[in-house]
A and B are shown apart, each in its own frame.
Chain A
């Protein structure tokens, strides 16, 4: 125990030097915590954007639907299925959808569109589609042969709210699906490309239109925690299989939007390099101050060696001293980093130019307060400090008292 007491006293003896070394570590900690926090934060924002925009955190389909979507790869969204999903603690909300393609007409103008049938009330709970309505209104809760159209569709067809929209497609019974709908609202604006060629109908209207009574193509799921998508999806998949829905499978948003996910993974690789650079800066700063602190005290170590302190003890003393300083600095760093992280998480920094990743634009840099934002910098600071202190500690342990006493 004596060695710890000595180490602590050594720290207090030269307060200014300890403070300076400590400060390097504190700043390193904060820098590292912010890097981790903002990187996680921007990925988190992107995940949030994409999942709340359309995909949800996971989706249920007929097996093989994602590989080759087809009108016929549908399933019945029975009350039993919803009950099975409701029993999963991770699931916050669910919404069924129908997907197809159609030819849209308004007057003499025509364009191809992506047709999506939604349950307006349930959709509200899972995605932010309702917030995208720029003109007109969102679909009413009951089917009323109304349609929401993307901005691009509205522009191409010159269809304001209230226009009569003719849709022609293929019904699931091989018939020519044809019907009229009223444009209830227009989604997004020129900048928001995500809804461009989509037309949304009430799911009951869509089922009727495509002759898909009681059938859906997907159920989108929203979880309580977006950070636990993979284990939750695994459990949901197992639960629906156990409940007898053997031809269904649950896929996370990473599988639904593989392109976006790959882009994000590539971006994460870039983030790792960014962290490595910060790590080097912090390590060099710590090495520099610790090295100076030991070299300054060559004479002191010489005296200690002269009065019979074993080299091993001397080595431990220096390493423990640095370790204690690193621990204290980390505590202070964590405390201060919390404020910085909170600021980034709550307010964020607005980009001068929005950054667009795979069709989703980011306007502010925000941080995510995750355990990683604390334990990663702590491990890095603590381990680098220990590692770095070993070099001067070894030097001190090997010191020849006579030379050391003579040196200064």
Chain B
């Protein structure tokens, strides 16, 4: 009888909460938006600053949250530049000078290839799930969830807090607001153009705006994305990094 009750409880609980998703679920969705067991994506990155403008085309492979491999296809002069991330280590490869450079932890918050994305953003060394504590907060729009994330004590980050805004309807993130340690809003990431890519409903456009450097904007447009593809076991190796030309 006792066993049955426990079993019943176990079965019913998810049903009870189905209408009201857990905060974890929303955060996890934000984290794994463009990832799965494995993924392959083709994307375009447009960088705009007061002084210059640049568009890059690149390919990216990921495996879980731990491994990432990115290679640039265009512009021609940057073709073959690659980035490999395994766990907490990250390397950039420059084919012209045939040099693999490991990015020191101190540079994780530095810009990736001149964009507004930090190295950390790109490889997700820290995940919202594991490295932040989160709680639901009230926001201006009733149709959206507002989740405030504060870094755990051990998390190495420059953000004082992050606010994730997600649709209540599909749990897809709409925006992420980044605040510095003094509580000033410094970055705003917005997600738009939701469509089905690789069998998953995801926002195809991700725009990152720096609020401290006026005119700085980086947009990532996903052209194609495939989830749970079979990857060459050599994908996430330094050898592969140097092979991409």
Contact = CB atoms under 8 A, between A and B. Distances in A.
Contacts of B114: 170-171, 173-176
A108 to B, nearest CB: 11
Contacts of A174: 47, 49, 52, 54, 113-115
Contact of B54 (A170, A175, A179, A180): A175
A175 B77 contact: yes
A175 B55 CA distance: 10
B51 interface: yes
Contacts of B96: 178-180
A335 interface: no
Given A174-B47, A176-B81, A166 B52 contact: no
Contacts of B78: 175-176
B77 A172 contact: no
A105 B114 CA distance: 21
Contacts of B49: 174
A102 B81 CA distance: 18
A176 B81 CA distance: 9
Contact of A172 (B47, B52, B115): B52
A112 B53 CA distance: 27
Interface string B192-211: 00000000000000000000
A72 interface: yes
A179 B97 contact: yes
A212 to B, nearest CB: 10
Q: Classify the interface of chain B: helix, strand, loop or mixed.
A: loop
Interface in B63-81: 75, 77-78, 81
A168 interface: yes
Contact of B51 (A72, A105, A180): A72
Nearest to A174: B114
Counting contact residues on chain A (CB < 8 A from B), the size range is 10 to 19
Interface in A161-217: 166, 168, 170-176, 178-180, 211
A173 B52 contact: yes
B94 interface: yes
B213 interface: no
A225 B51 CA distance: 38
Nearest to B218: A174
B94 A176 contact: yes
Given A105-B99, A166-B99, A176 B113 contact: yes
A170 B51 CA distance: 13
A357 B54 CA distance: 46
B40 to A, nearest CB: 24
Contacts of A170: 114
A180 B99 CA distance: 11
Nearest to A170: B114
Interface string B14-51: 00000000000000000000000000000000010101
Interface string A135-176: 000000000000000000000000000000010101111111
Contacts of A179: 96-97
7 tightest Cβ-Cβ pairs between the two chains A and B: A174-B114, A72-B51, A178-B94, A173-B54, A166-B97, A178-B97, A173-B52
28 contacts: A72-B52, A105-B99, A166-B99, A168-B94, A170-B114, A172-B51, A172-B52, A173-B52, A173-B53, A173-B114, A174-B54, A174-B114, A175-B54, A175-B75, A175-B77, A175-B78, A175-B113, A175-B114, A176-B78, A176-B81, A176-B92, A176-B113, A178-B94, A178-B96, A178-B97, A178-B99, A180-B96, A180-B97
